[in-house]
């Protein structure tokens, strides 16, 4: 029994040993194959040369330098140069054209739009608040010093009509003037005869001589003097704020009181009420402020840059948080001729007839001024005649680089061919740009996919949005400081020194990735030194690099 077990175990051990050896051989072969594949994957990928006839040049993918004859890395960005065959149609002096197949057009989502001529308006967005129209406001003031005796309208917010009494004022100056009027009336019996409630007043009047027959139409010198005095006193009372009906009532009563009633000069709402009984007021003090709530305007604040776009009579739409989603329409009736020296802004008045009285003074508004544009891109004035409008393109059509605008146009008669054109743009009009030069009505411009076309043109080393008229790059317009001429000279010298180092026989090789990393690291250290700040408690010269400073 034991012998049979030993034989069985020996056979089993041989099978296990054979299986282990077979597994080791398979594992070794697998690891060797994966190592070979890994080594092959480490090898740098080779760039295929584009097919075509012509000279072989090497182009930087970032278009940092002009096409070069020698392969290697870009001296500016350090990227591998792409080999390219330059044909006769790819000359820098020729137009930047690109031909795409229908599949490429569909894959790039290229969309076109026509250049049209239509009326558009530029939008100027401003902020402001609602206020009462000054043309429909009135201030009730006193024409003489005195004491407020009685108040008829006790609170602000009440509505009054024309002629409603507001308050009474007692004045000693008014009392003296009324007495002079009553004394002058004694010399004119016709005035005393109409005085009501005073039948005995004729006893106090001076004795009048009996007129002779034929002299009934003549007046005595005393009576003429009294009439002139009465007219002068009535005029003085009018100046002091008494209406004609109150003066006539005083002459009927014949008793001076020294009290004058001030009335509402217009229909409206009491905005300010400064009247208190027993309060002494001076001449010209504003007591009541009345405003018509049906006539309000939006008082907007505009900056200096908005001034060329604003004209009287332009249409304005504004919104307020009180009525969300509702737009109110008005027009400009006032433009402040003087700028605020503190805020450098000027005020604009937009009238709005609020028949329902929904808008209240002090509400904040967001307004948009619609400035119509003429064919030459200028703002339409009040006396200008209507025209067909300017030449416009969609907002997404031009590629703007700061000083240049490039538009890609579908070449007429050639399917799938797009040509880049530099255009001169006018003002922005909502969803359009006004075109002053470079396009004509009916041209087909690319509105979607123009960046993809421009990228393909750049890779082909053709003129694109990144090229200037003098052959420099668009980055030349973004100078960190100083004049543009100094920055251009610096960049030209830097590019020349880099290109000189790559010339054959110079003894220098192209800039390697390690050198590029060193240059980038040195620039980063210089930037950190430039922005480093003084630590608390330390003093020293912070105008020199950190390594050269001496901290005391």
Higher-confidence residue: 368 or 484? 368
Residue 69 in any domain: the answer is: no
**Which residue has better confidence, 69 or 215?**
69
Instruction: For residue range 444-461, list pLDDT tens digits in order.
Output: 999 998 888 888 777 766
Instruction: Reply yes or no on whether the pLDDT at 90 is more than 50.
Output: no
CA distance 550 to 55: 58
pLDDT of residue 67: 76
pLDDT at residue 3, rounded to an integer: 53
| pLDDT over 70 percentage in the chain | 66
User: How confident is the model at residue 36, as a pLDDT?
Assistant: 46
CA-CA distances (angstroms) from residue 486 to 64, 241, 470, 492, 500? 19, 74, 16, 10, 21
Domain boundary at 338, 372, 406, which?
A: 372
Q: How far is CA 251 from CA 207, 237, 354, 489, in A?
A: 21, 12, 44, 95
Identify the top-confidence range among 125-134, 246-255, 377-386.
125-134
Q: Write down the pLDDT at residue 333.
A: 92
Tens of pLDDT, residue by residue over 108-138, are 888 899 998 888 888 889 999 999 999 999 9
The runs of H, that is alpha helices, within 395-512 are 450-459, 484-501
In three-state secondary structure terms, 46 is coil
How confident is the model at residue 350, as a pLDDT? 94
Where does the pLDDT of residue 48 fall: very low under 50, low under 70, confident under 90, or very high at 90 and above? very low
Give residue-wise pLDDT tens across range 489-524: 656 766 677 666 656 555 555 555 565 566 666 666
Per-residue pLDDT at 211 exceeds 80 = no
What value does the mean pLDDT take over residues 408-418?
87
How much of the chain, in percent, has pLDDT values that exceed 90?
Answer: 22
Check whether 535 has a pLDDT greater than 80.
Answer: no
Distance CA 22, CA 16 (A): 10
Q: What is the pLDDT, as a whole number, of residue 273?
A: 92
In a shared domain, residues 200 and 300? no
Query: Do residues 309 and 420 both lie within one domain?
Result: no
Which CATH number do you get for residue 359? 2.40.30.170
Q: What does residue 435 show for φ and ψ, rounded to 5 degrees?
A: -100, 120
Q: Tokens at residue 420, please?
A: 């880049």
- Work out the pLDDT band at 12, boundaries 50, 70, 90: low
SS3 487: helix
Spatial contact of 230 and 143, defined as CB atoms under 8 Å apart: no
Q: Do residues 304 and 267 both lie within one domain?
A: no
pLDDT digit string, tens, across residues 314-338? 899 999 999 998 999 999 999 998 9
Q: Are residue 152 and residue 284 in the same domain, yes or no?
A: yes
- 331 and 242 housed in the same domain: no
* Residues 446 and 410 sit within 8 Å (Cβ to Cβ): yes
- Classify residue 499: in a domain, yes or no: no
Average pLDDT score, the chain = 76
Domain count, the chain: 4
CATH number of the domain enclosing 396: 2.40.420.20
128, 178: one domain:
no
Give the DSSP per-residue string, 123-170. Answer: EEEEEEEEEE-GGGEEEEE-SS-EEEEEES--STT-EE-TT-EEEEEE
Q: Is there a domain that residue 529 lies in?
A: no
Residues 202 and 239 in one domain: yes
Range(s) of the domain holding residue 364: 122-133+292-372
Q: Is-contact 289 269, C-beta < 8 A? A: no
Q: How far apart are CA 395 and CA 149, in angstroms?
A: 69
Segment of 163-177, 209-223, 412-426 carrying the highest mean pLDDT? 163-177
Range 288-308 average pLDDT:
90
129 and 169 share one domain: no
pLDDT above 90 (res 148): yes
pLDDT at 226: 83
Within-domain flag for 527 = no
Q: Decide: helix, strand or coil at residue 524.
A: helix
SS3 of 238, please?
helix
Token pair 């024309």 in the structure block, residue: 162
Between the two ends of the chain, the Cα-to-Cα distance in Å is 98
Q: Are residues 260 and 396 in the same domain?
A: no
Report the CATH number at residue 175: 2.40.50.100
Helix (H) or strand (E) holding 55: strand 55-59
How far apart CA 121 and CA 390 sit, in angstroms, is 10
- Structure letter (DSSP) for residue 474: G
More confident residue, 197 or 246: 246
The residue ranking higher by pLDDT, 71 or 152, is 152
Q: Name the domain boundary from 337, 372, 407.
A: 372
Give pLDDT, residue 192. Answer: 56
Which range (7-11, 110-114, 371-375) has the least confidence?
7-11
Q: Which residues is 417 bridged to in the sheet?
A: 99
Taken in order 11, 16, 21, 26, the sign of the CA dihedral is positive
pLDDT value of residue 485: 46
Residue 24, domain member (yes or no): yes
Q: The tokens 């070794």 sit on which residue? A: 28
CB 208 within 8 A of CB 257: no
Q: Does residue 39 surpass a pLDDT of 50?
A: no
Where does residue 231 rank: exposed (0-12), middle (13-18), buried (19+ CB within 10 A)? exposed
* Final residue in a domain of this structure, among 372, 405, 428: 372
Q: What is the mean pLDDT of residues 40-62?
A: 54
Backbone dihedral angles phi then psi of residue 142, each to the nearest 5 degrees: -95, 140
In this structure, are 399 and 338 located in the same domain? no
Look at residue 412 and tell me whether its pLDDT is greater than 80: yes
Q: What is the pLDDT of residue 519?
A: 61
What confidence score (pLDDT) does residue 167 get? 94
In this model, does residue 427 exceed pLDDT 80?
Answer: yes
Q: Among the listed ranges 127-136, 181-190, 425-434, which one has the minimum average pLDDT value?
A: 181-190
Do 360 and 453 lie in one domain? The reply is no
How far apart (Å, rounded) are the C-alpha atoms in residues 419 and 408?
5
Same domain, 365 and 399: no
pLDDT attached to residue 87: 52
pTM of full prediction above 0.85: no
**Bridge partner residues of 352 (DSSP):** 296
Task: Report d(CA 337, CA 548) in Å as an integer.
Answer: 57
Any domain includes 2: yes
Q: What is the pLDDT of residue 450?
A: 84
């Amino acid at each position: 029994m034991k012998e049979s077990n030993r034989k069985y175990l020996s056979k089993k051990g041989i099978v296990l040993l054979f299986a282990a050896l077979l597994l080791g051989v398979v594992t070794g072969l697998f690891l060797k194959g994966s190592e070979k594949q890994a080594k092959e994957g480490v090898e740098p990928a080779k760039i295929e040369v584009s097919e075509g006839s012509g000279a072989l040049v090497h182009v930087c993918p970032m278009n940092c330098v002009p096409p070069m004859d020698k392969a290697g890395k870009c001296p500016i960005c350090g990227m591998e140069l792409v080999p390219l065959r330059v044909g006769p149609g790819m000359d820098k002096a020729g137009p930047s054209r690109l031909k795409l197949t229908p599949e490429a057009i569909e894959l790039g989502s290229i969309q076109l739009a026509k250049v049209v001529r239509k009326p558009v308006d530029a939008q100027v967005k401003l902020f402001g608040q609602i206020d009462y129209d000054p043309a429909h406001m009135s201030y009730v003031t006193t024409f003489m010093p005195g004491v407020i005796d009685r108040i008829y309208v006790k609170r602000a917010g009440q509505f009054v009509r024309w002629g409603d009494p507001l308050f009474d004022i007692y004045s000693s100056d008014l009392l003296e003037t009324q007495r002079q009027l009553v004394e002058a009336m004694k010399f004119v019996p016709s005035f005393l005869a109409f005085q009501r409630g005073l039948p005995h007043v004729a006893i106090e009047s001076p004795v009048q001589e009996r007129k002779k027959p034929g002299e009934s139409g003549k007046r005595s010198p005393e009576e003429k003097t009294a009439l002139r005095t009465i007219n002068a006193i009535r005029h003085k009372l009018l100046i002091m704020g008494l209406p004609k009906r109150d003066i006539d009532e005083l002459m009927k009563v014949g008793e001076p009181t020294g009290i004058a009633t001030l009335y509402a000069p217009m229909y409206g709402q009491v905005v300010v009420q400064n009247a208190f009984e027993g309060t002494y007021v001076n001449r010209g003090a504003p007591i009541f402020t009345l405003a018509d709530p049906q006539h309000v305007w939006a008082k907007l604040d505009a900056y200096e840059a908005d001034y060329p776009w604003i004209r009287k009579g332009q249409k304005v739409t504004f919104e307020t948080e009180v009525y969300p989603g509702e737009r109110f329409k008005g027009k400009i009736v006032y433009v402040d001729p003087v700028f605020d020296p503190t805020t450098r802004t000027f005020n604009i008045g937009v009238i709005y007839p609020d028949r329902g009285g929904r808008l209240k003074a002090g509400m904040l508004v967001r307004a948009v001024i619609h400035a119509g544009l003429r064919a030459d891109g200028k703002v339409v004035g009040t006396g200008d005649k209507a025209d067909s409008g300017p030449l416009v393109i969609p907002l997404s059509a031009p590629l703007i680089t700061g000083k240049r605008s490039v538009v890609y146009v579908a070449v007429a008669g050639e399917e799938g061919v797009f040509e880049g054109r530099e255009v001169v743009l006018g003002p922005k009009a909502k969803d359009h740009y006004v075109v002053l030069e470079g396009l004509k009505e009916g041209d087909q411009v690319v509105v979607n996919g123009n960046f993809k076309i421009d990228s393909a043109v750049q890779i082909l080393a053709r003129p694109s949005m990144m090229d200037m008229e003098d052959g420099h790059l668009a980055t030349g317009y973004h100078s960190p400081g100083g004049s543009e001429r100094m920055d251009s000279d610096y960049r030209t010298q830097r590019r020349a020194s880099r290109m000189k180092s790559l010339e054959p026989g110079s003894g220098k090789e192209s800039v390697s990735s390690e050198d590029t990393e060193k240059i980038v690291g040195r620039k980063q250290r210089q930037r950190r030194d430039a922005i480093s700040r003084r630590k608390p408690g330390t003093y020293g010269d912070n105008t020199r690099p950190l390594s050269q400073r001496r901290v005391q």
